[in-house]
Structure 1
Amino acid sequence: MQRSPLEPSLWYATAPPPPKTEPIDGDLTADVCVIGGGYTGLSTALHLAEQGVRVVLLEAKEIGFGASGRNAGHCTPTFHFYSIPTVRKMLGPVHGERLVQRQTNATNLAFDIIRRYGIDCEGVQNGYLMVAHAPSRVAVLEEKQRTYASAGKVTQLLDKAETERLTGSPRYYGAWLHPEGGHLNPLAYARGLARAVISKGGVVHTYSPVTGIEPAGNRWRVVTPTGRVTAEKVVCGTGAYTDGYWPGLDKTYTIMSVAILATQPLTDNIRKTVAPENHTVVETRDDPMIYKYNKDGRLVTSVFVEGRRGGDVEYTKKLTGEKLKWILPQLDEVDFQYYWTGDLDMQPKTFPRLFELAPGVVASLGYSGRGVPTGTMMGTVLSEWAMGVPKEELTLPLEPLAASPFYMKFVPQIFLSVTRARDQWVAKREGVNPPAY
């Protein structure tokens, strides 16, 4: 499958260079072979290498080429779609509670790694703001505070005035402040993780696409065009960029594409009023407006690709710019100077799945848009599996490989359209007059 290039992204233009790596050449042996140089694979390899496990990581392109290097850089220790009580119900009291604890602490894990290894990635952990786009949506924020308190998280509800001060927008009616949220340069973080893996003795080979995984006695042989890795166990962490190396694995999710945009650097005066404390801002809409700064004072936002929106670059810039200027009236000009796209792996549960492909081979994917903290967190789960933690003690249940339901080919796009119309209707009913979303 042809993938969009990484080079147009703001992150590619501003991230520190990656560590020196080369394609695999010849045959290697390892305790564990990890496939995928994104957060899942890199975190898995790092946690294994820290324990002295011999690990070889294979990446088809460059480190962070997939969603890990091109997302918007938000670090939100939350669930994407389902509430905490629903996650507990879906997974049961044991696995549900384990996942809740891991996911709600995932941003802390990522920033701990950043600090321990001195990763230069613009990492800022000073809070995440979910903002009510209509008066009735304040109740949604109140429920968030209650349910996250059940996971031990101390969060805060803000009134309209404080919300306006922290966002720079008069358009919101309250906010939920989660102090553990943050943001970063995602490609720089991925490159920093790779550097950390190598520093701990892990082996990283880039431009080494895996073409197959085959039995080798009581071990597994991971095959590439230029070399092979024979290992006791294999971890697959390629997400939406999975490409045919295990039959059916790329059928477990539906690809949704996202366009990410970055403005011109805002002036110091504007930055005193727009997100002055450098939070990430996310609306309560199901198809939300999101914004946060990079290190140069550019606002970074994103939209799901949906027909002309995302497909027509100039139209998408115009539509998104009009929304941003409505939200932030102090912006006289919005000049999107960077525009790039990426893919994410959507599946019905929206939280990670752990597939047992064969004895000694597992895959983790289906994150559905919560990649930075979730991928980092799943590295700890996968490393535990690789080091022999019994399956009944793992954070997630091991599932047999199963294709995504047929309806996932069209339901996510319908969901976007329907919920966007609903959110617009609610806003207008309550006296808000937003532009087209």
Structure 2
Amino acid sequence: MQTLWTLTSGTRPDFRATALPARCDTVVIGAGFTGLTAALMLSRAGRRVAVLEGGRIGAGASGTNAGFVVPNFAKADPATVRRKLPQEQADALLRLVGAGADAVFTTIAEEGIACDAAQTGWLQPAFGAEMGAMLKARALAWQALGRPVDFLDAEQVRAETGMTIYSGGLIDRSGGTIHPLDYLFGLAAALARRGGLVREEAPVRSVRQSGSGWVVTSDSGQIVADSVLLATNAFTGGIAGLMGRTGIPLRVYQMATKPVDAATVARIAPHRRPVGDTRSNLFTYRLDRDDRLISGGMALNPFGAVERVGRAVAARMAAELGLSATPGLEIAWTGTAIMTPDFLPRIHRFGEGFFGGIGCNGRGIAMTAQLGRVLARLALGEDPAAMPIPLRPVRALPFHSLTPLVASAGLAHARLTDRLARRA
């Protein structure tokens, strides 16, 4: 699928002919942000790593998102995490997640990855007084953890967005934006420079234990490894189904407009900060390097939705941002995110030395940076019980094939909730 990122990326690497070794230390299944980050960390530690990707790099969620680098939770906050986990584990997870954006931008700098990286901060405006009070408390909680988070008043948010409907907002100064596909290509290139292997178009058919190791069989050959890491997000085909059926897949639609004028940029994004508000039917926007506006949404009816949702999102941006006209649509595309039942990331163990990680819950870039690091630590032999991401039993959701209906019902409810809030 064509996306804004495929149209504007640098040279795509080609790993379709990589010769696979008969043996390595770790096989990573999935060459998205999580898998490549884990592989890079292992390669830095001197381990022999092979990454097997079922399609081409960037075909999944890592290459089809909007490029927001947001170091927190979409559906949780520090107070929620502390209610769900023991205090020590909760604090460890919060510190890990809060440092997610810094981890991304640090890797980009260390590996010299050219991906339009802009650590300008991330802004979350509050819709309504109740949300404003909630974000003020959330900002204080992140501050107590040492994060560069502040609460802005309504006038400060207006100066950042040009919008007058918000009661205030949270700013995390460690957030920002990237070109996600170029970042992905850069991770793969960094891994290759350090001796790691990537093989595209190599779907894994089976993983079976043999002695103290694992035999991984793909369409491109068989590898014996000491450990295996599964990083396949929402996919449910083949071996990916071990994890993909444990969460709710969300079909998300993204779009980019034609470039907007400099006066508009100065009014709605003077510091080029990405924005995502608190409404149930989330409103987001950011700029790319050429001043295209990027936003997204979901569809009640998925049939023929890409262009339809793209046009609807462009119209919404024009209305929300007070644009003089609806900007022209450059391109629209779609991808799949996954939500875990408790909205927290999780680690699964499928056997001794065989782990998987899932649950970015709409915070894919920053969360995957940390999820990949935790998986790498597990492959290096660290104690799963000591990890900052909880180790959870593998439980497929009942009636998983019907979960898209749940997502559609949730969207309809979100739209109704926002309409009622506007009238209040």
Same fold (TM over 0.5): yes
- CA spacing shift, 1:314–1:401, aligned 2, 3 Å: closer
Aligned position for 1:386: 379
State the AA in 2 paired with 1:72: A
TM-superposed CA distance for 1:229, in Å, is 1.4
Aligned position for 1:420: 415
TM-superposed CA distance for 1:137, in Å, is 2.6
Residues of 1 paired with 2:299 and 2:88: CA distance? 37
TM-score, with length taken from structure 1: 0.92
Give the root-mean-square deviation of aligned CA atoms.
1.9
State the AA in 2 paired with 1:402: R
State the AA in 2 paired with 1:149: Q
Aligned position for 1:288: 282
Residues of 2 paired with 1:140 and 1:114: CA distance? 33
TM-superposed CA distance for 1:406, in Å, is 4.3
Aligned position for 1:167: 161
Residues of 2 paired with 1:368 and 1:175: CA distance? 21
* Contact 1:25-1:227 at 8 Å conserved across structures: no
> What secondary structure is seen at the aligned counterpart in 2 of 1:245?
helix
Aligned position for 1:434: none
TM-superposed CA distance for 1:302, in Å, is 0.7
> Among 228, 232, 244, which residue is 1:250 paired with?
244
Q: Does 1:373 align with 2:353?
A: no
Residues of 1 paired with 2:317 and 2:28: CA distance? 41
Residues of 2 paired with 1:267 and 1:51: CA distance? 47
TM-superposed CA distance for 1:368, in Å, is 2.0
State the AA in 1 paired with 2:376: S
State the AA in 2 paired with 1:260: Q
Residues of 1 paired with 2:188 and 2:278: CA distance? 35
Deviations 1:318-357 (A, max 9, x none): 4222321121113423111110000112221222111111
* Contact 1:110-1:376 at 8 Å conserved across structures: yes
Residues of 1 paired with 2:213 and 2:97: CA distance? 32
Structure 1 alignment gaps of length 5 or more: 430-437
State the AA in 2 paired with 1:424: R
* Contact 1:46-1:197 at 8 Å conserved across structures: yes
Residues of 2 paired with 1:69 and 1:243: CA distance? 19
> Among 345, 350, 353, which residue is 2:346 paired with?
353
> What secondary structure is seen at the aligned counterpart in 2 of 1:228?
strand
* Range 26-35 or range 334-343, more displaced: 26-35
TM-superposed CA distance for 1:21, in Å, is 1.8
Aligned position for 1:75: 69
Deviations 1:395-431 (A, max 9, x none): 22322321124488244333332233222212221xx
TM-superposed CA distance for 1:94, in Å, is 2.5
Counterpart mapping for 1:34-433 below 5 A: 34-245=28-239, 248-307=242-301, 311-406=304-399, 409=403, 410-429=405-424
- CA spacing shift, 1:268–1:246, aligned 2, 3 Å: closer
Residues of 1 paired with 2:267 and 2:212: CA distance? 62
Residues of 1 paired with 2:380 and 2:341: CA distance? 29
TM-superposed CA distance for 1:311, in Å, is 4.1
- CA spacing shift, 1:94–1:25, aligned 2, 3 Å: same
> What secondary structure is seen at the aligned counterpart in 1 of 2:312?
helix
* Range 246-255 or range 341-350, more displaced: 246-255
Structure 2 alignment gaps of length 5 or more: none
Q: Percent of aligned pairs with the same residue? A: 29
* Range 17-26 or range 189-198, more displaced: 17-26
State the AA in 1 paired with 2:388: T
TM-superposed CA distance for 1:24, in Å, is 4.8
- CA spacing shift, 1:23–1:350, aligned 2, 3 Å: farther
Deviations 1:285-309 (A, max 9, x none): 122110000111001001023216x
How many residue pairs are counted as aligned between the two chains?
422
TM-superposed CA distance for 1:82, in Å, is 1.5
- CA spacing shift, 1:241–1:248, aligned 2, 3 Å: closer
* Contact 1:168-1:276 at 8 Å conserved across structures: no
Residues of 2 paired with 1:68 and 1:363: CA distance? 17
TM-superposed CA distance for 1:283, in Å, is 1.1
Residues of 2 paired with 1:413 and 1:143: CA distance? 31
Residues of 1 paired with 2:300 and 2:79: CA distance? 31
* Contact 1:233-1:386 at 8 Å conserved across structures: yes
Residues of 2 paired with 1:134 and 1:15: CA distance? 39
Deviations 1:127-160 (A, max 9, x none): 1111123344321221221221232223222222
